[in-house]
Amino acid sequence: MCACSRCVRVCARARASNVQPARDTHVAAQSKLCDALRLRHSLAKGARVCLCCGCCVRHHVALGGAVRAFAVLNGYRGFYDGEWTPLLPDEVSHAHLRGGTILGSSRGGMDAPRIVDSLVKNGVNIVILIGGDGTHRGADLLHRTILARNLPITVACVPKTIDNDIGIIDRSFGFQTAVDEAVPAIQCAHTEALSAKNGIGLVKLMGREAGFIALYASLASRDVNMCLLPEAPWRMSNLLTWLEGRLERSAHAVIVVAEGAESLEQREAASGGTPFTPVSATPAAGGVAPTPAAGAPVARRTDESGNRILDDVGEHLKNAINAHFKSIGKVATLKYIDPSYIIRSSPANAADSELCARLAFNCVHGAMAGFSGFTVGTVDGVSVYLPTSVVANGKPQRVDILSRLYARLCSSTGQPSLE
């Protein structure tokens, strides 16, 4: 594997004593936070490579099935609380044709000592983890725990996040399929907006911290008038003023919002300013739900992995827009579309399918070569091995609002700054 100036060439190579003979190899594949698209494709291809020791599938019979692969279900907890499922070629031969995950997913559950004990008990030599930055942080901890105990176990990772926000690598598998599936939802919103007086089509897409899906889907559809991203600050008051003008000029509007695109009012409330309360679906007089006393504390809820639990920005926008036009006595018809689960459950397109196969082959080849504590990916189009710690602790990828890409979006939509 080559490396370029943007990545690290040398991974932590397992000591010679840690590399097991190919005919005595047990592989455990585990997914965390991988409800998202095309995990199954990567696992299916990876399982075949594991089962043939990194050789072509036709050599599996000659090897006598010496390499055994197991699926660890439902996240890190599956290592010590779950039942391991053998992965056989016939059982995964069609898995890549469907969406979703055959491994299941969950948040939290990282207990490195218990996981390592389970690996030793089951005689596992190679662990393949598939997931995002949280999974990589867990993998790095697991790798360091194994090194401290001087155990012959390799830890390898395949990066996976549908938001495409993992740093260093070019892209994660599933992202292009997500954009493909998001575009029809935007087209439906556009059709609905054109079918009513002052029609508004509102589409919420995935993207907690990075708005790449919303951005690329908006560029691809060419029908979006406003795209709200987590990286681009905006105020609700400015959005409503813009929307009034848009409807006066064109009598319809299409708005795409990433799920993490909180308004400045929400962010200010979270940082200790006036607390933010989402607009109620049954607003009080004036269209806005009662607001708690200024200065009251606002606690940010988190899940078991430490990720912020977000308010539903789509529902908030829908209720705020409806309440605003009702309060000023104007008619507006808003149609809200949330295609998140449709996107997540869709089969991979050709580009993502090819990337899955490439990542799976490279992951197994690296593990069989004796590398440990690494993740696979492409950087500037070149396949590379990266230290898991670099990916886990590196800067995540975000939309640069000073870039030509974002300028192209603003030119396509015609949207002004709403800050």
C-alpha of 151 from chain center? 32
Give the long-range contacts of residues 316-320, CB within 8 A, separation 24 or more: 316/278, 316/279, 317/202, 317/255, 317/257, 318/202, 319/278, 319/279, 319/280, 319/281, 319/283, 320/236, 320/240, 320/279
Residue where the block lists tokens 């593990």:
367
Residue type, 98: R
Which tokens belong to 132? Answer: 């995002």
Do β-strands 382-387 and 333-337 pair in parallel, antiparallel, or remain unpaired?
Answer: unpaired
Between 212-221 and 404-413, two packed helices, what is the crossing angle to 10 degrees? 50
Catalytic residue flag (residue 163): yes
Which tokens belong to 50? Answer: 């594991």
Which tokens belong to 267? Answer: 């962010």
Strand partners, 337: 203
Angstrom distances, CA of residue 237 to CA of 100, 188, 214, 264 = 39, 27, 22, 10
Give the separation between CA 153 and CA 145, rounded to whole angstroms: 11
Give the separation between CA 247 and CA 130, rounded to whole angstroms: 45
Q: Are 96 and 44 in contact (CB under 8 A)?
A: yes
Which tokens belong to 108? Answer: 């939290």
- Indicate which residue of 111, 133, 140, 163 is catalytic: 163
Active site amino acids: 163
